[in-house]
Structure 1
Amino acid sequence: MEDQSPKIDLVWGCAAIARVIRRTPRQCFYMLENGTLPAKKVGGRWVIERGKLLALFLEDVA
């Protein structure tokens, strides 16, 4: 029997998120703190779903 649950690709931590969006960790932290990025804090660490992060930038281009 196959697992049919959806796969969620999470990006954990400001430095990892910064690498995905190609910004410095400082720039990324600013964007996280002011709510520009749709991320949440879990246990003191920022986390965001990779698909939502990429969609945020792709919708601005279109």
Structure 2
Amino acid sequence: MNEKTEAMDLIWGLDEIGKLIGRNYQQTYHMVKSGHLPMVKQVGERYVASRQKLIDFFMEAA
């Protein structure tokens, strides 16, 4: 994956991450803080995650 593709793969903010995984802001925040979404990182005051890593994570659990 090249840098441009990787940048397009990023999801910024808990609202957007929650939309991808079907959760609201509070549920997503709780999942991140409790370690259930270990691939989400805090960058400054925002959270960021790889769309593909989140999809892979949930597909693995299914």
Q: Common fold, TM-score beyond 0.5?
A: yes
**What percentage of aligned pairs have identical amino acids?**
36
**Secondary structure at 2:23 match in 1:** coil
Q: Of Structure 1 and Structure 2, which has the larger fraction of its residues in helix?
A: 2
Consecutive unaligned residues in structure 1, runs of 5 or more: none
TM-score, L = length of structure 1: 0.85
Alpha-carbon distance between aligned partners in 2 of 1:54 and 1:43, rounded to the nearest angstrom: 24
Q: Equivalences for 1:27-46 in 2 at 5 Å?
A: 27-37=27-37, 38-46=39-47
Alignment coverage as a number of residue pairs: 58
- So what's the TM-score if we normalise by structure 2? 0.85
Displacement over 4 Å in runs of 4+: none
**Cα separation, 1, equivalents of 2:56 and 2:2:** 22
